[in-house]
Structures are given as C-alpha cells and as structure tokens.
Structure 1
Amino acid sequence: MSIAGHTILYTGAAGGLGLDTTVGFIERGANVVAVDNNPDKIAALRDAVPADQQERLIVLECDLSDLDGFRADLEGTLKRVGGFDVVINNAAIYPSKPFEEYTIAEHQAVQRVNVDAGIVAVQVALPGMRRRRWGRIINIASVTFYGGWEKLSPYVASKGALIGLARTWAREFGKYGITVNAVSPGAFPTDAEKIHPDPEGYTRFVLDHQAVKRRGHAGDIAAALAFLASDEAGFITGQTLNVDGGWVMH
C-alpha cells in the first residue's frame, strides 16, 4: 500500500489512536500535518517520530472550535506544503451525561469540533485535490453509532453526521478522482475509556461483543487508514469500514 510522498492532513493526530497512526504514516514515507491542541500529547508525538524523519511531521497546534482560526491556519499551512492529498477527520470531544442534561449549546459545541472542523478541512483541501484529480478523505466514525451506549448522544450524533457526509461527498467528488470513506473503530483502549467507572467490567463488555477476543491496537487502525489513503483503494468510496474485531457485522 503506497502512501509515500503523500501529504496527510490529520486532525486529532496526537491523541488516542492518532499518535501511533501518525508515526505509522511517517514510517511509510508520508508527510503528516498533525493537528492537535494538547501540548503534552504534541510533545509525545514529536518524541515518537524518529529523528531522521522529523521533517515529515508538521504540527499545527490550534483550537478546532475556532473555525475561522482553523481555516486561516490551514490555508497558511497549505501554502507551505503545496496541498493536502489526504484528509483524515479524527478529532473529537465526547462529553458524557444523560441526554436531558445537555444544553443545545453543548450539542452544538460537539458538532463544531467533531463535524464542522472536518468540513473546514475538506473545504480547504478540496480545490487542490480537484486540480490534481486525486484525493482521499477519511472520516473517523465510531462503533457507538450502532447503538449500545448511553449518555453520549451529541457524540453519537456527530459520528452519524460524519458517515452521512462521507456518502454525500463520495457521490459529489468521485468525478474528480477523490474517494471518501469512513472508518468506524471499535472500542480501542484510549483516553476515551477513562469515562467508564469500571475499566475491567468495560473490557469484559467489549470482549463479549467482539468476535475476535482481544482488544484492538493502533496498528489495526493504521493498516485500515493506510489502505484507504492509498492508490490501491481507488475503487472504494462511500463506504464505512468497521475496524472492531467483528462487533458490528453487515
């Protein structure tokens, strides 16, 4: 799967599954514009990239809830790197509480980071992709979209929106050689699990639902993303790939 030489715009690139997949892209010869807003995680990402490959990493530290600022940062970076070949919309926030306790403003805040920032990223990258007649857009969804979780309604709604956008963008952009897909990770061990009060019980819950009886790891996601970002995936678009150990089956 060749992604060498591609420039990947990756939001949420330093946290959760982002760090290991970012390093994996760089090791495969890609250049990554890593967008994140956590200084500690950004420092860890820099440390994880081998010294002889540091030039392949460009870190963009910004607040995705500031959509105008994010757009300006992306446009400036675009001029620096010459274009984005791949966009991965991964950044997300995930508050947890009963549905009736969320305010509309809280719903909108989740939508702004999880969905609207992704729209901005695609709007900035799209003109260059159209000119080159080649592009890959990957929206990161979630196993929670398929049900089974309480207290995450704004988050789940945002993931549903990303799947919907992947399908409509796939239809609209296909004539330009651009594919758009969603990847839906299962319950991977990340910081997001810290919202669960019983970690051991949660692990049992996950394994009971999976066909594969082990926890997922970053390499599982990295392989799926690298494939969908490659030339070899050029005839796959508008799809949602569930990387979840057989939790969800169609």
Structure 2
Amino acid sequence: MNSPSAVAGAVAQGRLAGRRVLYTGASGGLGHQTTLDMLAEGAEVFALDRDHSKNASLLADTPEAQAARLHLLEIDLADVAGLRATLARITADKPLDVVINNAAIYPSKPFEEFTLEEHRTVHAVNVEAALICMAAALPGMRAQGWGRVINVTSITLTGGWENLTPYVQSKGALLGLTRAWAREFGKWGITVNAIAPGAFPTDAEKIHPDPEGYVKFVMDHQAVKRRGTPHDIAAAILFLASEGAGFITGQNIAVDGGWNMT
C-alpha cells in the first residue's frame, strides 16, 4: 500500500489526504459538489469536463486554500487522442489513486429515431472514455498495490424510463466493466465499484416535458420523501474512495432514497 504523497497547496488533511483523483464530468450537477468535497478531504483532483461555464463555476466555488490541488482540464472525452495525451501527462511522474468515471451524455428520443452514429457517440463518451482512463491508471495502481475505481451507473438500469436507449445501454456496459475489473484487479489491491444515482435535480431532468409531474413521479417511488442532493452522492463516492472501503468491490450501490431495493 502506498503512503499518501505530498501535494501542492495547503497541507491536506482528511480521508483522501495526498490521494490523486481523476474525475470525469467533474463540473456537472453531481460532480461539482463531489469535487469540492474531495478537495475538502485532502485530495488532489484532476477534473475533466468540456463545459467551460461549469468549469468556471467550479473554480469560483473552490476555496483559495484548496485551489492548488484542483486541476481543471477542459477536454472532450470523445477526442481519444487528446484524452490519451492528457492522461499520459497526469500519470507521467506519479500514479493515480482514484478514478471516477462519471461523465455521460443522455440524448432522449424514441429508439427508432436514433442513428447508429448517435449510439456510437454516446458509447464513446459514456464507456470508451472509461476504458481509456482505466488503461492509463492501471499500471500505477498495480505497481503501488492500491487503487479505487468508481463507475457511475444509473437508476435507469431498472427499466422504468423510455426514450433513453443509448444512455441505458452505456450504463449497463459500465456495470459490466465494474464487475469484470473488480474480479481482475482485486489481486493488486484495487477495488472497483459502481454508484447508481437515483433521480437528482440536475440538468439531466430538463429532458422531461412536465417538471412538476416528474417530481411527483420521483417522490411516489422513493421511500425517503425528499429530493436527493449532490452531497448524498458525494458521501457515497468519498466512502468508496477511502481506505475504509477496502473490502468492498464489484458492487453497484444505489443512492436513490430507497427507490430500487435489491
């Protein structure tokens, strides 16, 4: 097991002190708060997101004492060559300790209206980028005998939503990767788990034509009668990224207020 390395900026304290984290989709609705919480727990975060305005918002919300540990990398994850070059720079001198595959696109329309190219575009961002990130991180994790990988899946895998075929398919692929990687990488001290968020009030909900009706739909299905917050997702991710989760692997943990109970 590696000992936490020194990082730039203020002396870091917390569960992730000294850990180097790669986080895709880090500036989005759920990623924004998780990134801030990881910085507060002492992590050095390499935040990959293509949305300039969201990146600016994340930077503005980052406390000055923690800003040196946040590396905002504006990149389109579908750009394979650019992504590989970025990852090579990140891992050139030090290994990554944690990889969070969170970035996703979610076009919505009936299955018959999707072209094969549109399916491929969703797969490129939602799945292939995770493959590339894992390929870059694995050698360092294996060498140090420690690693945490967290894939963000979705409640939509339970089958309650229409018009999201490429997205649901991609999340199913991530769940398959979670289980395959957990089995294969466990011998090197690397755990691989998935988080399945429920219905959170983020930009993703804007695809629904009846917002009030959708909120009622959510509340009717949840056992916990409140909307989820980004802090709820952050808490689960922080735990799975920590030393304390070292005997948990290959799991898909629903963070959904008790919507799906398996």
TM tier, shorter chain? Answer: over 0.9
CA distance in 1, matches of 2:241, 2:233: 12
**TM-score when scaled to structure 1?**
0.98
Aligned to 2:187: 175
CA distance in 1, matches of 2:260, 2:80: 33
Match of 1:20 among 16, 24, 33: 33
Query: Is 1:7 aligned to 2:20, yes or no?
Result: yes
CA distance in 1, matches of 2:247, 2:237: 15
CA distance in 2, matches of 1:193, 1:70: 28
Aligned to 1:39: 52
Query: Is 1:228 aligned to 2:240, yes or no?
Result: yes
Aligned to 1:63: 76
Match of 2:164 among 139, 152, 156: 152
Query: Is 1:244 aligned to 2:256, yes or no?
Result: yes
CA distance in 1, matches of 2:92, 2:129: 19
Query: Is 1:94 aligned to 2:106, yes or no?
Result: yes
Aligned to 1:162: 174
Structure 1 residues 77-108: Cα deviation after superposition (integer angstroms, max 9, x where no partner): 2226x121000000000000000111111101
CA distance in 1, matches of 2:114, 2:82: 26
CA distance in 2, matches of 1:240, 1:91: 17
> Which amino acid is 2:75 matched to?
C
Aligned to 1:50: 63
CA distance in 2, matches of 1:77, 1:167: 26
Structure 1 residues 26-60: Cα deviation after superposition (integer angstroms, max 9, x where no partner): 01111110000011000000001001110110111
CA distance in 2, matches of 1:229, 1:208: 32
User: Which consecutive residues of structure 2, in runs of 5 or more, have no partner in the other structure?
Assistant: 1-13
Match of 1:190 among 193, 202, 210: 202
CA distance in 2, matches of 1:98, 1:188: 23
Aligned to 2:85: 72
Q: Name the SS of the counterpart of 1:79 in structure 2.
A: coil
Q: Name the SS of the counterpart of 2:91 in structure 1.
A: helix
Identity %: 61
Greater Cα shift, 68-77 or 42-51: 68-77
Shift of 1:4: 1.5
User: Which consecutive residues of structure 1, in runs of 5 or more, have no partner in the other structure?
Assistant: none
The alignment covers a number of residue pairs equal to: 249
> Which amino acid is 1:58 matched to?
H
Match of 1:115 among 100, 124, 127: 127
> Which amino acid is 2:245 matched to?
A
Shift of 1:209: 0.5
CA distance in 1, matches of 2:181, 2:80: 20
> Which amino acid is 2:218 matched to?
V
CA distance in 1, matches of 2:216, 2:107: 23
> Which amino acid is 1:109 matched to?
T
> Which amino acid is 1:202 matched to?
Y
